[in-house]
C-alpha cells in the first residue's frame, strides 16, 4: 500500500513571482506552482486515502478467494483429465492420456479400473499408481516407469512393458498372457497367482521376485533372466516355460 504524505501549503504566487529573475521562466514556474497546489489539495483529500485502502483490501479479498476456491480448481482439473481418458477409451494413439494419467496419479487419485486398452502410452511415468483391475490389454508401455504401482487383478494381455521399470509392482492375480516384458526390471515385483502364458520374460531382472503360486507359465520365455530366485527357473521349465533366444526361434 502506498503511504500518503500530507504536503506543506505552497507559498502565494506573488511571493514566488518576486524571486524570479528571468521573465521567460515565469510560465514554467507558474505551471510548477499550479502543480504544487494540486498535489497539496489531493494530499489532504481523505477520499483518495480511502480509495487506496479499498484497493489494498480488494487485493486481500482476491487472494482469499483464490485459495478458498483451490479445491474447486483441482476438482475441475481432475474432471477434465478423466474426460480425456474416457473420451479416448477404445481408441489407439495417445490422445492426451499420458498427461491425464500422470496428472491424476501425481495428485494421488486412484486409477482403479481405468481402461486404456490398445493405447500408445510409451514412456509414461506412473510410479506408485493405484491401477488395480485396470485394462492395459494391447497397450504400448515401452520404457515406462511403474515403480511400486498396484496392478493387481489387471488385464495386461499383450501389453508391451519392454525395458520398463516394474520394481515392486503388485501383479498378483493379473493376466499377463502374451505380455512383452523383455529387458524389464521386475526386481521385488509380486507375480503371485499371475497368468504368464507365452509372456516374454527374456533378460528381465528378477531379483527378490515374489512368484509363489504362479497360475500358468506355459510357453513363457525365460531366456537369460537375471538374478532369478532360487528354484524359479527349474519350476518354470517344469511347468511349460521355454528358453528361446529370439522370437523367430
Are residue 197 and residue 117 in the same domain, yes or no?
A: yes
For residues 97 and 68, is the Cβ–Cβ distance under 8 A? no
Looking at the fold, whether 117 and 228 belong to one and the same domain comes out as: yes
**Domain containing residue 212: CATH number:** 2.160.20.80
Asked whether 162 and 181 are in contact (CB, 8 A), the reply is yes
Contact 115, 97 (CB under 8 A): no
Buried residues in 229-249 as b, exposed as e (16+ CB within 10 A): eeebeeebeeeebbeeeeeee
For residue 97, what pLDDT is reported?
A: 95
Range of the domain at 17: 13-68
* 11/94: higher pLDDT: 94
Same structural domain for residues 223 and 120?
yes
pLDDT band, very low/low/confident/very high, at 94 (cuts 50, 70, 90) = confident
Confirm whether 73 is domain-assigned: no
Please state the separation of Cα 16 from the chain's center in Å: 69
Residues 38, 146, single domain; the answer is no
C-alpha cell at 166: 516394474
In-domain check, residue 235: yes
6 falls within a domain: no
Q: Give the model's pLDDT for residue 90.
A: 83
Asked whether residue 204 falls in the same domain as residue 144, the answer is yes
Residues 150 and 240 in one domain: yes
Q: What is the pLDDT of residues 16-46, one digit of tens each?
A: 666 666 777 667 767 777 777 677 666 666 6
- Residues 122 and 232 occupy one common structural domain: yes
Longest dimension (CA), the chain: 116
| Domain contains 212 | yes
Nearest to 176 by CA among 158, 150, 188: 158
Of residues 124 and 245, the one with the higher pLDDT is 124
The number of distinct structural domains making up the chain is 2
Q: Could you report the per-residue pLDDT of 158-216, keeping only the tens digit for each?
A: 999 999 999 999 999 999 999 999 999 999 999 999 999 999 999 999 999 999 899 99
40, 66, 68 from 171: Cα distances, Å: 78, 42, 40
Q: What's the distance, Cα to Cα, between the start and end of the chain in Å?
A: 78
Write down the pTM of the prediction. 0.71
Same domain, 52 and 128: no
Q: Of 37, 53, 68, which residue sits at a domain end?
A: 68
At residue 67 the predicted structure's pLDDT band, cuts being 50, 70 and 90, is low
- Can you say whether the dihedral through the CA atoms of 119, 197, 171, 189 is positive or negative? negative
The CA distance from 230 to 60, in Å, is 65
Instruction: Please check whether residue 77 lies inside any domain of the structure.
Output: no
Contacts of 183-187 with C-beta under 8 Å, sequence gap 24+, read 187/227
* pLDDT digits 0-9 by tens, 97-150: 999 999 999 999 999 999 999 999 999 999 999 999 999 999 999 999 999 999
Report how far residue 172's alpha carbon sits from residue 188's, in angstroms, rounded to the nearest whole number: 12
Please check whether residues 59 and 118 belong to one and the same domain.
no
Answer with the one of 5, 39, 68 that is the final residue of a domain.
68
Residues 29, 133 within the same domain: no
Same domain, 59 and 115: no
Whether residue 249 is contained in a domain is answered as no
Spell out a b/e string for 168-207, using b for 16 or more CB atoms within 10 Å of the CB, else e.
bbbbbbbbbbbbbbbbbbbbbbbbbbbbbbbbbbbbbbbe
Residue 103 belongs to some domain of the structure: no
In a domain, 87, yes or no: no
Amino acid at each position: 500500500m502506498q503511504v500518503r504524505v500530507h504536503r506543506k501549503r505552497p507559498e502565494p504566487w506573488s511571493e514566488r513571482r518576486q524571486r524570479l529573475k528571468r521573465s521567460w521562466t515565469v510560465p514554467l514556474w507558474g505551471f510548477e506552482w499550479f502543480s504544487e497546489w494540486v498535489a497539496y489539495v489531493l494530499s489532504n483529500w481523505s477520499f483518495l486515502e480511502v480509495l487506496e485502502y479499498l484497493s489494498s483490501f480488494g487485493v486481500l479479498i482476491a487472494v482469499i478467494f483464490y485459495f478458498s476456491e483451490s479445491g474447486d480448481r483441482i476438482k475441475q482439473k481432475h474432471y477434465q483429465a478423466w474426460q480425456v481418458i474416457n473420451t479416448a477409451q477404445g481408441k489407439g494413439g495417445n490422445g492426451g492420456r499420458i498427461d491425464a494419467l500422470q496428472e491424476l496419479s501425481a495428485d494421488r487419485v486412484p486409477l482403479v479400473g481405468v481402461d486404456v486398452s490398445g493405447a500408445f502410452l510409451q514412456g509414461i511415468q506412473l510410479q506408485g499408481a493405484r491401477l488395480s483391475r485396470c485394462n492395459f490389454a494391447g497397450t504400448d508401455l515401452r520404457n515406462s516407469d511403474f515403480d511400486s504401482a498396484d496392478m493387481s487383478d489387471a488385464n495386461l494381455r499383450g501389453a508391451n512393458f519392454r525395458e520398463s521399470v516394474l520394481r515392486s509392482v503388485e501383479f498378483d492375480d493379473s493376466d499377463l498372457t502374451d505380455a512383452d516384458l523383455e529387458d524389464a526390471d521386475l526386481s521385488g515385483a509380486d507375480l503371485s497367482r499371475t497368468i504368464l502364458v507365452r509372456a516374454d520374460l527374456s533378460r528381465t531382472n528378477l531379483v527378490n521376485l515374489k512368484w509363489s503360486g504362479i497360475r500358468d507359465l506355459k510357453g513363457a520365455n525365460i531366456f537369460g533372466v537375471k538374478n532369478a530366485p532360487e528354484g524359479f527357473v527349474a519350476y518354470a521349465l517344469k511347468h511349460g516355460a521355454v528358453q528361446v533366444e529370439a522370437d523367430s526361434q
